[in-house]
Structure 1
C-alpha cells in the first residue's frame, strides 16, 4: 500500500502514533468478495463513504493484508487477485462441468452440438469472476485489509490515525499479499509495511509476492491455447467425414497452416510481455539484494512538504517512519537503517530467489490457464470416444484417446519451454530489438512444438491400430514432463501443493 496522505494541519503526529494500538472501532475489514466485486470498481474509481461503511465490518483478525502501491494499474492488480484467489476453483469447475456435459451427450441426454465447449468457457469465466460470491453461500467469507475500503476517506483526522497506525492492521493479518510491480520497493510506505511485517516477534508469517504482470501472461496463455485447440477441433470435425488419405495429408497441412498463422500473431505478443515480466522480476531480485530504505520515495518529500491543493505545510512521513525503525532496530552502536536494509536483503531476497528459480509461481497459474483452455472440449471428446468404443472396442478407444492425452502433455511441456525461452530473452534483450527478439522467440517456440508433435503424428498415421509406437512416444513426452516439473513433484512439494489447492478451493490460501 503506497499511501499519499494529505494530513490536515490540525493533526499533530509523533513517532509514538505509529506504534500505538488502534481503537476497536477503527479496525474494519472487507470481505474478499467485496474487493473483487463489480469488476474491481473499488480499485478503479472513488466510492461513496457511506456505501463503503456498509460493505465493511468490524474485524479482530484479517486473513490477508493486501499490500500495493496506487501508482500501478488498477486493472492489473484486480485481475491478478482474480487469478490468485479464483483460478484454481475456476479450472476445477470447468473440468467437472465439461466432463459432465460430455457424459450427458454420450448418454443421449443432451444433443451433440459443435458449440458445446462454449458452456465450459462460460463456467470458467463465471467462477473466475464470481467464485468468492459463490463460496460465501456455504462458507464464511475471507476478511482482508484493503486500504481504500478499511481506512475512512471522508475524515482526515481518522484517516491519518489509521494510516499512521498501520502496524495495528498488519499485526492482525495472517498473510501479507504483495501485489508487486517494479515500483513497489521504491515507495517508503510499502517499505514500512515490510518493516512492520518483519518485526513480528512470534512465528514468522507468510509473505506472498504476486507480480501483477501475471494477469497479462495468464490471459495471453489462455487465449493462445484456446484458439489453437479450437482450430484443431474444427479441422478435425470437418475432416472426420473425409477419407483416410485426405485425413493424413490435408489435416496435417491445414492444422499446421492455421496454427502457424495464429502463432505468427499471438506468440510474438506473448513473448514480448513475458520478456518484459522476467526483466521486471530480475529487477525485483536486484532491488532486494541492493535495497536501501534511504533511496525510497515518499509523497510528502516529492511535494516538498506542501499540500499541492492548499499550499499548507504537511508533516514529513520519512522522519516518522525512520523514528519507528530506530526504535525497532536501533541501539547505542547500531545504524538502524542499515540493520533494516540487511533484514530486507537477507529475509526477503533469498526466499524470492528460490521461488524464481523453480518457476513455481508462474507455472502454477500458466498450467491452470492451459488446462482451463483445453478442458471445455471434453464435452466434444467424450461423446466421440464413446462412439469409438462402441464401434471399435477398447483398441479403438485407446487409439482415439492417445491424441487427447498427448495434447494435454504437450501443452504442459510447452508452457515450461516458454518460461525458459522467456527467461533467455532477458539476457538477449540488450542485443536485439524487442520486436525482433519476440519474433525470434516465437519461431523457436513453434519449432520446438512441431518437433514434439511430429513424431507422434507420424506414429499415428503410419501404423495400424495394434501398434504400440504412439503409446511409446506418448510415454516419452510424459517422462519429459515429469523431468521438467520434477521440483514441484517431490513428496514435500506435492503434499504442499495439494494443501494449497484445497485451501484455494476454500478461498483461504
Structure 2
C-alpha cells in the first residue's frame, strides 16, 4: 500500500522523466503584486506565445469566461498555425484520482474487515461501499465532460470578461486584426478549434500511465497476498498459480485493459 500511495503522488512526473522542459505559466511568470509590472507582463504575452512549441490548456469550467485566456488561445494559434494545442481538461485527472482513492479505500476496508473476522458476502459488501461514492463522482465527472463539449460548441466571445475596459478593447482589437472579425473568431472556436481540442477526448480510454496508477492499489493487494504465501512456505505451484492468476491476471492486466 505505501508503494501505491507513493506512486499516486509521483505519477504526474513520470511521463516527463529524463526530459528537459521549460514552460511559461502565466500565473507565476507574470508579477501578481505590482500593477505596472503585471500590465507589462500581460501585454508581452504574445512574445512568449510565439516562442512556444506547444500550448497546454489546463481546462476547467471558468476558462472560456476569462478574456485573457481566450486571448492567449487566439494569439498562440495565430503565431503558431501548425503547432500543437494540448487540451488537458482537469476532469480526467479528477476521475483518475477518484478511481484510485475508491480502490484504496475498498482495499483498506477489506483488510480491516478480514482482520475483524468479517467473512463472505458481508466482507465484500463492506469493502465495496466506497465504490458507491466512486460511481456517483464519476457520473458527475461525465457531466463535466459534456459541459466541456457544450461550452466550446456554444462559445460566445461576449461572455468572456476581464477587469479593465481598456484590456477588453485591446483584446478585441487584436482578435479582429488576426481573424478578420469577432464573429469569425467565435465561429473558429466553435468549429475547427473545437474539433482540434476534443479529438483526443471523444472516447473513454485513459493514457496507459493513468491506467497503471489506478491499478496500483489492487496490485499492492495481490503482492501482499503473494508475499504472505511465500512467507508461509506455501507450495510452489500455489504461489505461481496465485501470482499468475490473481496478481498478474486479475489485479494487473484485467484492470489495465478495462481502463
Q: What TM-score do you get using the length of structure 2 for normalisation? A: 0.80
1:365 and 1:282 map into 2 onto residues whose CA distance is 24
CA contact (8 A) 1:221 1:369 kept: no
Contact 1:175 1:206 in 2 (8 A): yes
Distance 1:121 1:255 in 2: 26
1:211 to 78, 86, 89: 89
Aligned residues: 256
Out of 195, 200, 204, which is 1:350 matched to?
195
Q: How many angstroms does 1:163 deviate by?
A: 0.3
Who is 2:124 aligned against? 259
Q: Work out whether residues 228 and 259 of structure 1, in 8 Å CA contact, stay in contact via their aligned partners in 2.
A: no
**Secondary structure of 1:178's partner?**
strand
Please point out which of 144, 150, 161 is paired with 1:280: 144
Aligned to 2:171: 321
Alignment of 1:291-310 (within 5 A): 291-300=155-164
Q: CA deviation at 1:206?
A: 1.9
| TM-score, structure 1 as length reference | 0.44
Kindly report which structure 2 residues correspond to 1:147-158, keeping only aligned pairs within 5 A, or say none. Answer: 147-158=26-37
Matches within 5 A, 1:12-23: none
Q: Could you say if the C-alpha distance between residues 366 and 127 of structure 1 is closer, same or farther in structure 2, counting changes exceeding 3 Å?
A: closer
How far off its partner does 1:222 sit? 1.3
Structure 1 residues 398 and 128, CA gap change in structure 2 (3 angstroms): closer
Q: Residue 46 of structure 2 contacts residue 75 of structure 2 at CA under 8 Å; is this kept in 1?
A: yes
Asked if residue 187 in structure 1 is aligned to residue 66 in structure 2, the reply is: yes
Q: Deviations over 1:283-322 (max 9, x none)?
A: 111121222212322223xxxxxxxxxxxxxx42221111
CA RMSD of aligned residues (A): 3.4
Deviations, residues 388-421 of structure 1 (Å, cap 9, x unaligned): 9x76444x344323122223344346x64xxxxx
1:222–1:373 CA contact under 8 A, matched in 2: yes
Q: How has the CA–CA distance of structure 1 residues 235 and 286 changed in structure 2, closer, same or farther, with 3 Å as cutoff?
A: closer
CA distance in 2 between partners of 1:262 and 1:392 (Å)? 29
Is the 1:231–1:255 contact (alpha carbons within 8 Å) kept by the matching residues of 2? no
- 1:170 aligns with one of 29, 49, 54: 49
Q: 1:296 to 1:231 in 2, by over 3 A?
A: closer
Secondary structure at 2:119's aligned position in 1?
helix
Secondary structure at the aligned position of 2:53 is classed as: strand
1:238-283 CA deviation, whole Å, 9 max, x = no partner?
7xxxxxxxxxxx9xx825323323433x233223322222222211
Give the deviation of 1:323 after TM superposition: 0.8
Offset of residue 345 of structure 1: 2.0
Alpha carbons 2:8, 2:213 under 8 Å: kept: no
* 1:256 to 1:410, Cα distance in 2 relative to 1, 3 A: farther
Give 1:234 shift: 6.8
Task: Give 1:48's aligned residue.
Answer: none
Give the match's secondary structure for 2:88.
strand
- Separation (CA, whole Å) in 2 of partners of 1:154 and 1:223: 37
CA distance in 1: counterparts of 2:68 and 2:35, whole angstroms: 18
Report how far residue 140 of structure 1 moved.
7.1
CA contact (8 A) 1:216 1:273 kept: no
